[in-house]
Amino acid sequence: MALTLLYILDQGTSDDRNTADGRIFTCLSDGTQGRDLVTGLRSAPDGIAVSADHKYIFWTNMGHPGPDGWTNTGSIQRCDIDGKNVITIIEPGTKTHTPKQLTIAEKSRKLYWCDREGMRVMRSDLNGGNVETLVRNGDVENKEHRADYLRWCVGIQVDEEAGYIYWTQKGPPKGGKGKILRCPIDGAGTAGENTEILFDHLPEPIDLSLDLAEEWIYWTDRGDIPLGNTVNRSKIPKKGEKTNHEILVRKLHEGIGLELDIKNRSMYITDLLGGVYRANLDGSDEKVLIPDLGTVTGIAIAYL
Domains of the chain: 4-303 (2.120.10.30)
Q: How many percent of the chain have pLDDT more than 90?
A: 91
**What DSSP string runs through 21-76?**
-EEEEEEETTS-S-EEEEEEE-S-EEEEEE-TTSSEEEEEE---EETTEE-S--EE
Predicted confidence (pLDDT) at residue 65 exceeds the cutoff of 60: yes
**Residue range 264-272: mean pLDDT, rounded:** 97
Q: How many percent of the chain have pLDDT more than 70?
A: 97
The predicted pLDDT at position 231 comes to 98
DSSP state of 131: -
Q: What is the C-alpha to C-alpha distance for residues 234 and 219, in angstroms, rounded to an integer?
A: 9
Predicted confidence (pLDDT) at residue 18 exceeds the cutoff of 70: no
Please write the tens of the pLDDT for every residue from 96-125: 999 999 999 999 999 999 999 999 999 999
Average pLDDT score, the chain? 95
Please write the tens of the pLDDT for every residue from 184-220: 999 998 878 899 999 999 999 999 999 999 999 999 9
